[in-house]
């Protein structure tokens, strides 16, 4: 059950991060300046509602799997990638969003899109430990 929870939450987040990276973040530049702060505020509330439960499930299941598998290198690597994702989120993406709530800034937006590749890449790598038990 833990492996299935881990796989589902990770794969859902991989799909979501690619959608954010390729579709959602680039489209932010098209929001009219007058409505951008309200848009950014709504984005933050809605994405948090969607992402937070998945990230908690992914994190808890990653830790449980690591213990169940006696510290398997695949799961250790997956947990390291997950910790890097959380660090990137807390130290880079969340601060960018908090600044963007004041209004669209092209340089800050470019930074958000560029640095989000960190999370997109790491979550993509996390597919391996997520599906490992099913191979």
Over range 17-40, report the average pLDDT.
97
pTM: 0.93
Across all residues in the chain, what is the average pLDDT? 95
| pLDDT in the model for residue 126 | 96
| pLDDT in the model for residue 68 | 86
pLDDT tens readout for residues 58-70: 999 999 998 888 7
pLDDT tens readout for residues 98-135: 999 999 999 999 999 999 999 999 999 999 999 998 98
Contacts 24+ apart (CB under 8 A), 103-106: 103/33, 103/36, 103/37, 104/28, 104/29, 104/31, 104/33, 104/36, 104/40, 106/29
């Amino acid at each position: 059950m833990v492996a299935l929870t881990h796989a589902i939450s990770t794969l859902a987040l991989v799909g979501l991060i690619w959608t954010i990276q390729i579709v959602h973040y680039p489209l932010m530049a098209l929001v009219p300046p007058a409505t951008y702060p309200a848009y950014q505020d709504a984005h933050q509330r809605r994405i948090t509602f969607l992402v937070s439960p998945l990230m908690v499930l992914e994190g808890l299941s990653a830790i449980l799997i690591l213990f169940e598998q006696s510290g398997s290198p695949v799961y250790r690597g997956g947990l390291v990638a997950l910790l890097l994702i959380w660090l990137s989120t807390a130290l880079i993406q969340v601060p960018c969003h908090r600044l963007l709530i004041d209004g669209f800034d092209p340089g800050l937006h470019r930074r958000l899109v560029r640095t989000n590749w960190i999370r997109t890449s790491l979550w993509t790598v996390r597919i391996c430990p997520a599906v490992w038990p099913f191979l």
